[in-house]
Amino acid sequence: MPEMPDLANVEIDTNRMIGWVPPQSAHVHYDPPVMGHLGMKPEIVVPEPTDERIWVEIEPNVWFRPLFFDMNTGGHGEVLRVRKGGVLSRHRHPAPVHGFVLKGRWHYLEHTWVAETGSYVFEPPGEVHTLTVADDCDEMQTFFAILGPVLYIDDDGKVEHVEDNVGLIEHCKKAYKANGLGEDFVDQFIR
Ligand SMILES: [Fe+2]
């Protein structure tokens, strides 16, 4: 084994290492990446939101809060919030999904289990399911890391709508423009 050099006292110019500088605000923080000049993206740190306008409405009583949009892989992270009972969407995932229930509970019509507060759910590529919230659940919140597009399908399995990062970001821009945060507000979640 060759001996590794001792680099503890070697100083480097961190200013040179800041590449693309994405926006940040009180709602999103990051430190400059150590290898920004090589294309390394800054991290994203999103605190608990204090401004209700950050929640983007999908349909009445259903919102999502963007956490990140990864423009290299097409994945994104969000918190889904539902304040109504009943069936939401039927959809298929061509890429994996990781979910963690923060509040309340929900289930898929196609499965026997119920995801409750504290539950972790892994959804493999190819999963088709129909998200459903029980009528006696006042509110559910779930973190989802959705590592690709979501294909919304009808009862015959035909794709009705493809939801990808470009479409989601456009939706956020419209919502944030309408509520006064400004359409650029979503940019701070993009890497
Ligand atoms: Fe899903």
Calculate how far, in angstroms, residue 39's C-alpha sits from the geometric centre of ligand 1: 31
Instruction: Go through 129-154 and write b for each residue having 16 or more CB atoms within 10 A of its CB, e for each that does not.
Output: bebbbeeebeebbbbbbbbbbbbebe
Q: How far is CA 77 from CA 71, 111, 131, 147, 191, in A?
A: 12, 23, 17, 8, 12
Torsion angles phi and psi, residue 15, rounded to 5? -60, -40
Question: What confidence tens digit (pLDDT) does each residue in 134-183 have?
Answer: 999 999 999 999 999 999 999 888 999 999 999 999 999 999 999 999 99
Per-residue pLDDT at 17 exceeds 90:
no
**pLDDT of 127 above 60:** yes
The 10s digit of each residue's pLDDT in 129-142 is 999 999 999 999 99
Quote the ligand 1 centre to 59 CA distance (angstroms).
17
> Domains in the chain, start-ordered, CATH in brackets?
51-189 (2.60.120.10)
d(CA 152, ligand 1 centre) in Å = 10
Question: How far apart, in Å, are the Cα atoms of 8 and each of 15, 17, 67, 115, 150?
Answer: 19, 19, 35, 48, 47
Least confident stretch, 4-13, 27-36, 81-90, 153-162: 4-13
CA of 130 to the centre of ligand 1 (A): 7
Q: 18 C-alpha to center of ligand 1: Å?
A: 36
Burial of 175 (0-12, 13-18, 19+ CB in 10 A): buried
Query: How far, in Å, from the CA of 151 to the mean position of ligand 1?
Result: 9
User: So what's the pLDDT on residue 89?
Assistant: 86
**What's the gap in Å between 91 CA and the centre of ligand 1?**
6
Q: Which residues pair with 91 in a beta bridge?
A: 129, 152
User: If you measure from the C-alpha of residue 25 to the centroid of ligand 1, how many angstroms do you get, rounded to a whole number?
Assistant: 30
Q: Which helix (H) or strand (E) holds 162?
A: strand 159-163
For residue 21, how far is its CA from the centre of ligand 1 (angstroms)?
33
- Cα of 12 vs centre of ligand 1, distance in Å, is 45
Output the CA 62–ligand 1 centroid distance in Å.
15
Contact 153, 128 (CB under 8 A): yes
Tokens of 11: 């100083």
